[in-house]
Structure 1
């Protein structure tokens, strides 16, 4: 694994993302025991400490279960645990609460300042997402595009304070646990398609200059994110989104 220019935080997140992709593609089925940290370190060309940090992060987001003295197993029904603030990140529930408070207003502001360059950048992200939405092996890239969508949208609001806030919300460096939780949430095709459809609707509302619709769709989108991540049972009975 390439380590040049990567921070320690980024490296363990990258390892955890690789493992989540392997789980999504069926390499490690529910109930399967993952390789030990020594084997993972050798396979992925990282230190054992980094491999252990990746496993810890996956345990925190509910993707695996660590059975002391026995090993680490893929959970049959991954679900986000009650994560409080840790040395790795802030509490994800606080992050989604903040996003739901800020981003609908930002989307409405972007719609009042319709900019061709912003629309072009957002459409490019949506188009690339559509190309890989059906490929579970492309989960990491799909997730990165989704975060970029929100960051690029905020840049179009014309307010550097708000765009900086949203950019920090969706920063993989600032919120590594959120990145892993989000990847876990979009592991299903239905969830990825839900995210893509929401992003298309947001772009359409902004292109039309419809501030109310842009705010409404963003509100619904982030509510769906909240539901899929923190209330997965409820999300099974509703249209999926990531």
Structure 2
């Protein structure tokens, strides 16, 4: 988890606070910081993670916005339950953007999956399969959550590149880009903090890819529709869904 502000400037993920927030979520999923526990202060976290206190504060703010932590002024920052605040983002500053984002994805990605079933090439299928295989290897390791999330979002972006329509592929790529939608990435990671949720995501991704590989456009579109409905449910209605997201 060690990194420096300076080294991050040359990395492909310039938003350092996002990486810090992801690492803290991974530590929560691993049981290092359990529900109800107070996190170390920003000075201690900054020293532990080798970043500035400003970066830590930005990461904590992002985690507070998605409901992963509760900041009690004058007392400290406390870890909330796995789904304690994700459902509660309705009506918050995050409500409009995530709802519009998932609405756009539910409208576009089933169409893209259907097109990919008839147009995707063998090399891209192999690449997608390799990414799913890697995700399978790390699915049970909560410390690898940031990488698991990266692979999940890349699955959607790379699949879209196989649809044969550069405009649609570009739109989907923007919708699942972590830099464009950093808080959405954190909402997703918070929602798949349990191994069961991550297994569910993998299963759904394999269903989509299997339909595309078989050339069945209708089944591919239906599988993507099911998957994105699950994304919606687990983000906004976690009490009634323990499925996956990506």
Q: Give the shorter-chain TM-score range.
A: over 0.9
Residues 61-113 of structure 1: per-residue CA shift (max 9 Å, x gap)? 00000111101000134332226557xx9721111111111100000010121
Is 2:82 the partner of 1:82?
no
Secondary structure in 2 aligned to 1:72? Answer: strand
1:126 corresponds to: 132
1:210 corresponds to: 216
TM-score (norm 2): 0.92
Secondary structure in 2 aligned to 1:32? Answer: coil
Q: CA deviation at 1:4?
A: 3.1
1:40 corresponds to: 45
2:60 corresponds to: 55
Residues 146-187 of structure 1: per-residue CA shift (max 9 Å, x gap)? 001001000001111111101101111100001101111111
Residues 17, 59 of structure 2: 8 Å contact kept: yes
Change (3 A) 1:51 1:94: same
TM-score (norm 1): 0.93
Is 2:155 the partner of 1:155?
no
Q: Which ranges of structure 1 fall in alignment gaps of 5 or more residues?
A: none
1:111 corresponds to: 117
Residues 27, 33 of structure 2: 8 Å contact kept: yes
Residues 110-155 of structure 1: per-residue CA shift (max 9 Å, x gap)? 0121310121111111111111111111111111100010010000
Secondary structure in 2 aligned to 1:66? Answer: strand
Alpha-carbon separation, structure 2, partners of 1:177 and 1:184: 10
Alpha-carbon separation, structure 2, partners of 1:116 and 1:90: 38
Runs of 4+ in 1 over 2 A off after TM superposition: 6-9, 76-79, 82-86
From 23, 26, 33, the equivalent of 1:21 is 26
Alpha-carbon separation, structure 2, partners of 1:144 and 1:126: 11
Is 2:18 the partner of 1:10?
no
Is 2:147 the partner of 1:144?
no
Q: Which ranges of structure 2 fall in alignment gaps of 5 or more residues?
A: none
Residues 195-215 of structure 1: per-residue CA shift (max 9 Å, x gap)? 100111111101111000000
Is 2:244 the partner of 1:241?
yes
Alpha-carbon separation, structure 2, partners of 1:7 and 1:55: 22
Is 2:72 the partner of 1:72?
no
From 62, 84, 94, the equivalent of 2:100 is 94
